[in-house]
Amino acid sequence: MDKQTAAKIIRDTFEKPFDKGRFINFSKNLVNFLDDSSNFVYQGNYIPDAYKPYIHTLERIGKYQDADDNKTDILIAQLKKETSLERARTIQRNFIAWYLNGSRGGDLKDAALVAFVSPDNEDWRFSLVKMDYLLEESPSGKTKVKTELTPARRFSFLVGENESSHTAQSQLVDILADDRNNPTLSILQNAFNIEVATREFFNRYRELFHKVKEALDKLVEEDKVIRQDFKAKGVNTVNFSKKLLGQIVFLYFLQKKGWLGVPGNKNWGEGNKKFLRTLFEKCNKERKNFFNDYLEYLFYAALNNEDRGGIDPSYYPRFECRIPFLNGGLFTSDYDWEKTKIVIPNDIFSDRRDDSDEGSGILDIFDLYNFTVKEDEPLEKEVAVDPETLGKVFENLLEVKDRKSKGTYYTPREIVHYMCQESLINYLDTAVNTGEVPLVPTRPPQGKLLGQPDPQQAALKAPQYRVLSPREDIEEFVRKGESTIEHDSRVETYGKETKRYSYKLPESIRQNAKLIDEKLDSIRVCDPAVGSGAFLVNMMTEVIRARNILTTYLADKEERRTNYNFKRHAIQNCLYGVDIDPGAIEIAKLRLWLSLVVDEEDIRQIQPLPNLDYKIVCGNSLLGVEKNLFNLELFNNLEKLKSLYFNETNTKRKQEYRVQIDNLINQITNNNQNFDFEVYFSEIFHEKGGFNVVIANPPYGFRNVLSKEEKTYFRKQKNIQFPSGDIAELFIIIALQKLVRVNGILTFIIPKKSLYGESWRNVRKTWLSHELTYLMDASKAFEKVLLEQVSFSIIKEGGRKERVTIGALNQSQDRIEIFGSFPLEDIFSNELKNAQIYKGIFPKSILNKINTYSTLDTEQLVKAEIGISNITQHLTFQATGNYPCIKGIDIIKYGLKPGKRYLKGRIARKYLPLYQGHKIVAQEIVAHIQNPFPHIMITMFYDDANRLINDTCVEIKILDSKLEKKFLLAYYQSNFCNWYSYNLIYNRAIRTMHFIDYYINQIPIPKSIIHDPCHQEKFVEVVDQILAITKDHDYLTNPTKQAKVKELERHIDQMVYELYDLTPEEIAVVEGFNK
């Protein structure tokens, strides 16, 4: 099938109300060999009681099995309520999970493609629901599915009459066009990849920014009134353009909810879902300017104006419809909009000529995409522009000032989800299981013959860890609890368990539901590098999901336990953020406002958005001020005013509160304008002594991040030592000193070199001086960012656990793979030289043999000396009067590339005495190789010509006379040493692995080699044969000679394996360690 036909089938199916015939036709083209021989319909008693209020029927229209033996059914789920399509996403997902998991005695299925259809058929959802079964080996040796909670993951396109199919077309068209092959489950999952849509949306959004900015630049240049007003108000075209796009995209979410263009006699939610396009068409007919005559009035006279007169203050006569008052600041004008005439050309907003023309204006591009107000979750992903997508786009745009700017990069969703869930688990584990315990046993009162017993002294108590709800139960509650709601709700309703319905959530969670809910209500979270607000929003999402699960088991099931009320409470009391970039602050506020808009369901009165100026603050998290902490009256007044300001909607009173708040802050700080946590967030420190959770992706780097004055300030004035020189380490130190309360949680993602770098050893000491709960290799999590990352979480001054959970982001970046929980001494051996997080994935037998047969952790046997630095400008290819000099790029295994470079004689002569004699020379940076599987290659050659080397090379000097140079040449380049170095020294890093003293001396040397030099002679013999071949001038062009060297290298590998007595199975692990 050609792509045009395929795209038409998608459009006909997805841009219209649901039609069963069209959907079957689409399915048969999506899956070429669909088995429709055994279809059926579930309804009535075939639908479990827990799902009956939501599901009318479930119909199978076909099934198929792909080349990987994955079983997939194609289903139609008819819902009972229109609102179920949006509000009951968890129930829909769990219902299909029930079906896939065997339902009424059926086979296990791996996935389903499902049309979820609301009663009016107008809008519907096309979803891929995929199970993640856990397998285990039965006593008989057979593999079977492990019996435990198995959540399903759902990936969806929202489709129908009011939706665009642009993204669905671009991501599904190739599958439909392929007439020969059934798509595998992995291909289908990739077609639902939200990241593809996000990247496309960002690229188009950035282009729109450039268009708006360039139009504004021209206006400012030509119009003196605009130019003077912008200058007086501190407005620049970069921020103006970003804010304008942010305002418009926010309105796309509002019109999606039906909040714009609501007729005067209708409720919120019944508005025009294409309001902005309708407004633009009206503007064009009237030959007016869309920005100056329409958008400015919409923004500043309607959305930012609480009282518009009339009986209904929400009615805006200019547009003859209801427009909500939003408050919060997004639609506050930064310039004099009534006096300036900013005529942005209409074609910036839409240059579409007819329905067949896609157009390239703001409205044209936004109209192509589906907008959903639901936040992405670990188990629920919608292929649409959601608030998280918008946050990514905004954060990416922070550094974009012109067309040369590429943007910054955000933390991937899976990492954010994992970090937030781990932080919440750690918090609940400590908060729920820590209580006041008597320091000494209490004795019963001793009786007296006459009178009352003597009064007893109150027992001394102290906080202590005692288990009410085991950590394993808390983890299951946070990660999988949502999948228990329907079953457990039915048990609670009927008051007893039955054979078919029994509790799924652990008993300790159910029994302590009230206590856990109180702890969730009182959590306090801070992101000191808030960026787009991803961590705060996701922490809030996790907390609210957990509270919704607990509602089932609480006597208090009143209407006030709604998502909206939970969120408003969390935003007012629980979430705090700081960022040095004012643009980031506005983005984070926008994310939080959007999260409230998601769950505002009052069709009669929309609540104004809160003021977040003292919750999400622009400032430098690392600096502080000298302040008067003892003037409690000032702090009490400050905290009262901030609480009043949060909900205030009157413009005049808001300004009065701001002036009073800022005056109090100035009094406390002696007019120092630097941000200070204990002042701006004083209520946290008075209430709790610090935050329960501090979570962030702090900035990395040194040279371009900290000024010279800041470095002096921290190291000299504050006496803060951070040997790595990286600002991320500084964030860790200051967060633990200033922000995290005792037993609080610190969860960061920082450079991966913290696992193994010499200068990062203090960070590893910090991890172990508290309670390290997990380490997760995020590897190359950030697209186009050179650094690799690792995430960690610690409990401040915890120290109960002696094990740490280890995991890694998988290569497709859609899952965190957990390796297991390991004793700290296993991971942090070798005097904290590194954290060997990949140790746990290899057989213990290999590691035990290495420890038994090697000199690991004993004396230093070799020394690496880096070559001559700062001589690049003195290198030449002219031999006369000059001396041979090697760069790392010249070295191949056991030899050199053809072509010679020389160091000029005048410079070279002072170094010649240092490089006399035969020597081993290695590349200073270890090469990482991706194919056929990720691995490294330590590269060395044997120099017998007194060559000089520059600083991209190291010379390996032997400190123990029993060691032979040629043995080490062979040994260090063996498969075994590359395997060991890659996994257990560099922790599978892929960049900037230096082959210097610190790392070389972590490579084990077999004891037998030192005790019996005869062992080395065998290696020397083979090396001599290799060197004889690699010295030949035609070696690099002679396949026969290269094959011979490969054969000899394999022989060396086998000899190394024999030194450690490795079995064939263990050798297979070393040789295929990451295939």
| Better pLDDT: 210 or 787 | 210
Q: Residue 917 CA to chain centroid, in angstroms?
A: 52
Q: Please give the CATH architecture assigned to the domain spanning 698-841.
A: 3-Layer(aba) Sandwich (3.40)
Supply the DSSP string of 110-147, one letter for each residue: SEEEEEEE-TT-SEEEEEEEEE-PPEEE-TTS-EEE--
Could you tell me whether strands 803-809 and 771-779 are parallel, antiparallel, or unpaired per DSSP bridges? Answer: parallel
pLDDT at 238: 87
Angle at 987 between CA 846 and CA 993, to 5 degrees: 120
| Better pLDDT: 565 or 857 | 565
Written as six digits, the tokens of 202 are 């960002």
Between CA 113 and CA 96 the distance in angstroms is: 10
pLDDT(915) > 70: yes
Q: Would 698-841 and 855-1071 be classified into the same CATH topology?
A: no
> Can you give the pTM of this predicted structure?
0.83
pLDDT(962) > 80: yes
**Residue 308: pLDDT band by 50, 70, 90 thresholds?**
confident
pLDDT at 458: 61
Q: Please state the domain extents for the chain.
A: 3-192, 197-397, 413-432+475-624+674-687, 698-841, 855-1071
| Better pLDDT: 910 or 1025 | 1025
Short-list 732, 389, 387, CA closest to 528: 732
pLDDT at 144: 46
Question: For 908-918, what is the mean pLDDT?
Answer: 88
Short-list 951, 1050, 964, 1038, CA closest to 1005: 964
**Residue 721: pLDDT band by 50, 70, 90 thresholds?**
confident
Question: What are 378-388's pLDDT values in tens digits?
Answer: 677 778 887 77
Question: For 122-134, what is the mean pLDDT?
Answer: 82
Which residue stretches of 274-401 are H helix? Answer: 275-285, 290, 296, 362-367, 387-397
DSSP conformation class of 984: I
Question: For 222-247, what is the mean pLDDT?
Answer: 88
Question: For 4-9, what is the mean pLDDT?
Answer: 90
pLDDT at 640: 92
**Residue 497: pLDDT band by 50, 70, 90 thresholds?**
low
The helix (H) or strand (E) run that includes residue 808 is strand 803-809
Top-confidence range, 259-268, 269-278, 988-997, 1020-1029 = 1020-1029
What percentage of the chain exceeds 90 in pLDDT?
33
Question: For 918-932, what is the mean pLDDT?
Answer: 83
pLDDT(872) > 50: yes
**Residue 860: pLDDT band by 50, 70, 90 thresholds?**
confident
Question: What are 15-31's pLDDT values in tens digits?
Answer: 889 999 999 999 999 98
Short-list 878, 861, 952, 950, CA closest to 914: 950
pLDDT at 456: 65
Instruction: Output helix, strand, coil percentages for the chain, rounded to the nearest 5.
Output: 45, 15, 40
Q: Please give the CATH architecture assigned to the domain spanning 855-1071.
A: Alpha-Beta Complex (3.90)
- On average, the pLDDT of the chain sits at 84
**Residue 487: pLDDT band by 50, 70, 90 thresholds?**
low
Question: What are 191-205's pLDDT values in tens digits?
Answer: 888 777 778 888 888
| Better pLDDT: 746 or 51 | 746
pLDDT(701) > 50: yes
- Give me the sheet containing 875-876, strands edge to edge: 875-876, 901-903, 883-886, 948-949
Question: What are 761-815's pLDDT values in tens digits?
Answer: 999 999 999 999 999 998 765 655 567 889 999 999 876 778 999 998 877 667 7
